[in-house]
Structure 1
Amino acid sequence: MKKNMGTADKSIRVLIAIIIALLYYFDIVEGTLAYILMAFAIIFLLTSFISFCPLYTLFGINTCKTK
């Protein structure tokens, strides 16, 4: 698995995941929408930690700086 996510991309995804978690924690989003958003938050965190996004490979996107 080749890295295809840069530092800025990972930071934005973690920030979005934290915001979604806070919206859920403070009961701003509830029900089905909350579960869908939490699933996205978990996916964002997972892809950020491994620096790989499968959708990026499908679309040919690479935000990782090459050395």
Structure 2
Amino acid sequence: MKANIGTIDRSLRIVIGLVLIALSLTGVIGLWGWIGLVPLATGIFRFCPIYTLLGIKTCKHY
């Protein structure tokens, strides 16, 4: 798995994932907040399978 997520994209994914999980834990949005695990995981691993399928890279490594 080659990294295909850049720094800004990675930061946004991690923040959005954590916010969704926190909202779920507080009961604001219910169980749907656990979908935040997806952007959190892709941000941590710097790899997005959908980006690979679409040929998108937001990182500077080639």
Pairwise TM-score range, normalised by the shorter structure? 0.7 to 0.9
| CA-to-aligned-CA distance 1:44-67 (integer Å, 9 cap, x gap) | 121111111000011111000136
Number of matched residues? 62
Structure 2 residue aligned with 1:54: 49
TM-score by length of structure 2 reads: 0.84
Q: Which has the larger radius of gyration?
A: 1
- Counterpart of 2:3, as a letter, is K
Indicate which of 54, 59, 65 corresponds to 2:60.
65
Aligned pairs for 1:31-50 (under 5 A) are 34=31, 36-38=32-34, 40-50=35-45
Structure 2: any 5+ residue segments left out of the alignment? Answer: none
Higher relative contact order (CA 8 A, sep 6+): 1
Is the Cα–Cα contact under 8 Å of residues 3 and 46 in structure 2 kept in the other structure? yes
The RMSD of aligned alpha carbons is: 1.5
Unpaired segments ≥5 residues, structure 1 = none
TM-score scaled by length of structure 1: 0.79
The ranges of structure 1 where at least 4 consecutive aligned residues each deviate by more than 3 angstroms after the TM superposition are: none
